[in-house]
Structure 1
Amino acid sequence: MSAQRKDDHVRLAIEQQHTHRGVNQFDEVSFVHHALAGIDRPQVSLGTSFAGVTWPVPVYINAMTGGSEKTGVINRDLATAAAETGVPIASGSMNAYFKDPSCAHTFQVLREHNPDGFVIANVNATASVENVWRALELLRANALQIHINTAQETAMPEGDRSFGSWAPQIEKIAAAVDVPVIVKEVGNGLSRQTVAQLKDLGVAAADVSGRGGTDFARIENGRRELGEYAFLNGWGQSAAACLLDAGGTGLPLLASGGVRHPLDVARALALGARAVGSSGGFLRTLLDGGVPALVAQLQTWLDQLAALQTMLGAATPADLTGCDVLIEGSLREFCADRGIDTRALAQRSTKTTTGSTR
């Protein structure tokens, strides 16, 4: 049943890529164009760091799948593309492995085909410390990703209905492991209050994983004959909204959810993300064109991101947080309701020490 559910998730996620197009609030973020801001391309670096982690690029392949023979092939190919491009990669939820150790190879291929890369093991918030260590050892993982997904679990026919233990267990796991712990949503976003709470729980970083990409509540409704929880489709906040909301918490932020192209990556970095992940779009490319197509897409994204940094005058991804950005539409309304000063974002390049602008 677990293997079938994993295959269903992939099938329904791909269907969303082809058919579902909701509002994407990254389109409500734009850069103020300063025509003489550009720098020379050799000055640009794509390196980023957070919580003691250093990556050569600020783009990663986010959690997708594993647990069945079909998804094992997908993980093998994802790992091959990650190895060829130097892009970090996260596994899908390894709960299937905890329930059935015979599917271990469907996750282990992430390390076998990417022996020197940065690999992140993914578990749920109910995983025991013992199982977390099993996951880390199986992948020889460089970091741990704990996913939280109350909306998905609520829509899932066989989903969890007991959420009160999640925060204490996250704290327990974070204290027990010796790799950085990243907590991520699965497409409904992390609010300012949640990110502040995660910081208190001792995690190293938070992936806001907002609304706009793969909608797992919609996927779980697709597994129901009557779709009884369709009212949860589109639940939550976008990645752009979450980055703006949680920027002052002091916890390093990663971003995913609705990331379609390198401009969205640059937008997320400008709003404070240390790195930006994608899942559904990369999966669609892989299934449509194989490993060569995904490698080409990743390389293109990195080249175009460097080009954007060159034009914007940002020598590093972190420097994008000094670029002026305009917030429009429903995202601006969200900021107003949450007490976020959008005017300051539009005037960040003003150098207060000299009174000059970029």
Structure 2
Amino acid sequence: MDENKMREKRKDEHVQLAISPQSNSSLPLSHFDQLLFVHQSLPNIGFNDVSLKVNIQGLQLDTPMYINAMTGGSKMTGEINASLAKIACETGMAMAVGSQHAGLRNETLKETYQVVRKSNPKGIIFANVGADVPLDFALRAIEMLEANALQIHLNVPQELVMPEGERDFKGWLQQIEQVVHHIDIPVIAKEVGFGMSKETIRLLKEIGVQYVDVSGRGGTNFIHIENQRREHREYEYLQGWGQTTPIALLEAHEYLNSMIVFASGGVRNPLDVVKCLSLGAKAVGLASPILKILLKAGVEEAIEEMKHWQEQIKTICTMLGAKNIDELRNCSIVITKEVREWCEARGIDITLFSQRSKQR
């Protein structure tokens, strides 16, 4: 099997494994459940006062949810991308495509990504490349989609467990720096489900990165997915590797005033979305929840479900007295159990979150 056929086969296998129950985190309970909002009996706003629009330098989003990078690079995944783009168009959500390396290396696969722009001509679309690609590849990926932003995915554990994956990660930081300084649309450094630390975010900030997606453990688990593709499946014990999304957001706390932080990974429901936003995320990415509805029930059902999520986010904002996404950062949230222990060990002051209502 030639390299192009192997890559197409891998793309299809990723989708099939991603929708299996075993591909999600093995944690019995989500760390999102260890974040508790302090209820306010007098929110002093109405449901219609709440706006979900997000105004970010370089990006204007109609909703704080976006469809995160999933797929492209084969006939089957191209059809999925077309459906995801229709969902994004009808719900006002931004959308990222999966890694475009297949389309950049094989002209016949470009359409499996370009279909996103054709299906959603006026939408916000994120291109997607790895940290190892040269500048010209990044520029071609953007041109392929007429993209509004570029995701650069950081996926070291996935590559190492992937049977045919990369083994040398020297020069990634310098490569990202070159792309950031030569591209005039937002460049989002994105984890793929293992979470970011404050040390990683500091390194990215120092080279000029202004946007990060901390993408934590708890959702689609790429160590598990790649391990399932190995003959002996010998890396099963690494399934719990990395930081969860709540922990990754807390790690990012000191950078919230100087960088734009997105969150994804393990988001199960609208309350999880609101918790991410309260911890400082400007927008929240969804992948598996949308993909599973799409493949099980179709495009229209997925559209309706995402509209229900938006309505429920507004309901929760109303209960918290937050008229917009920025005001959620003024809502008190108590951090408990393992997440609290992590913060204590890492020197993160949790009272900054639990005492917010005193400042309102």
Question: Are 1:144 and 1:181, in contact at CA under 8 Å, matched by a contact in 2?
Answer: yes
Contact 2:215 2:264 in 1 (8 A): yes
What is the match of residue 287 of structure 2? 279
Structure 1: how far apart are the matches of 2:22 and 2:181?
Answer: 38
| Distance in 1 between residues matched to 2:26 and 2:223, nearest whole Å | 15
1:228 aligns to 2:234 (yes or no): yes
Aligned to 1:355: none
8 Å contact from structure 2 (residues 25, 220) kept in 1 = no
CA distance in 2, matches of 1:309, 1:151: 36
Please state whether the residue corresponding to 1:66 is helix, strand or coil.
Answer: coil
Question: 2:18 maps to which residue?
Answer: 13
- Could you tell me whether the CA contact under 8 Å between 1:151 and 1:232 is conserved in 2? no
CA change 1:101–1:16 in 2 (3 A) is farther
Q: Deviations over 1:199-252 (max 9, x none)?
A: 112122100000000000110001012112223212100110011111112221
In 1: Cα distance, 2:81 partner to 2:148 partner: 17
The whole-number CA distance in structure 1 between the counterparts of 2:206 and 2:246 is: 23
Post-superposition CA distance 1:39-61 (Å, at most 9, x none) = 11221110113343221110000
Aligned equivalents of 1:17, 1:265: Cα separation in 2: 23
Q: Would you say the 8 A contact 1:38–1:311 is kept in 2?
A: no
Note if 1:248 corresponds to 2:254: yes
TM-score, with structure 1 as normaliser: 0.96
What's the C-alpha RMSD, in Å, of the aligned pairs?
Answer: 1.3
For residues 19 and 55 of structure 1, do their structure 2 counterparts lie closer, same or farther at Cα, with a shift above 3 Å needed? Answer: closer
Q: Conserved in 2, the CA contact under 8 Å of 1:190 and 1:242?
A: yes
CA contact (8 A) 1:155 1:232 kept: no
Distance 1:273 1:258 in 2: 14
**Aligned letter for 1:268?**
C
8 A contact 2:214–2:264 mirrored in 1:
yes
Q: Say if 1:181 and 1:203, in contact at 8 Å, map to a contact too.
A: yes
Rounded Cα–Cα distance in structure 1 between residues aligned with 2:150 and 2:24? 32
Amino acid corresponding to residue 21 of structure 2 in structure 1: Q
The 5-angstrom pairing of residues 105-184 of structure 1 reads 105-184=111-190
Residue 239 of structure 1: which of 223, 226, 245 is its match?
A: 245
Counterpart check, 1:2 vs 2:13: no
Counterpart position of 1:219: 225
| Cα distance in 2, alignment partners of residues 38 and 276 from structure 1 | 26
Amino acid at match of 1:287: L
- Kindly indicate whether the alpha-carbon contact (under 8 Å) linking 1:51 and 1:204 is maintained by their aligned counterparts in 2: no
Structure 1 residue 20: deviation in Å?
5.8
How far did residue 71 of structure 1 move? 0.2
TM-score by length of 2: 0.95
> Bigger CA drift: 186-195 or 19-28?
19-28
Q: Which moved more, 1:224-233 or 1:76-85?
A: 224-233
1:338 aligns with 2:343: no
Is this contact kept in 1: 2:152–2:188, CA < 8 A?
A: yes
Give yes or no for the alignment of 1:316 onto 2:324: yes
Does structure 1 conserve the Cα–Cα contact (< 8 Å) formed by 2:213 and 2:261? Answer: yes
Contact 2:98 2:128 in 1 (8 A): yes
Kindly indicate whether the alpha-carbon contact (under 8 Å) linking 1:253 and 1:272 is maintained by their aligned counterparts in 2: yes
Which of these residues, 259, 262, 274, is aligned with residue 266 of structure 1?
A: 274
Q: Which amino acid aligns with 1:252?
A: I
Match of 2:317, SS? helix
Tell me how many residue pairs correspond in the alignment: 352
Counterpart position of 1:75: 81
Q: Write the distance in 1 (CA, Å) between the matches of 2:44 and 2:289.
A: 30
List alignment gaps of at least 5 residues for structure 1.
352-357
Tell me: CA distance 1:19–1:335, structure 2 relative to 1, closer, same or farther (3 Å): closer
Deviations 1:79-114 (A, max 9, x none): 011011110000000011122121001000110000
On the 8 A contact 1:195/1:251 being kept in 2, the answer is no
Cα distance between partner residues in 2 of 1:217 and 1:131: 26
SS at match of 1:30: strand
Matching residue's letter, 2:338: S
Q: Give the distance between the partners of 1:139 and 1:182, measured in 2 at CA.
A: 16
**For residue 337 of structure 1, what is the amino acid of its counterpart?**
A
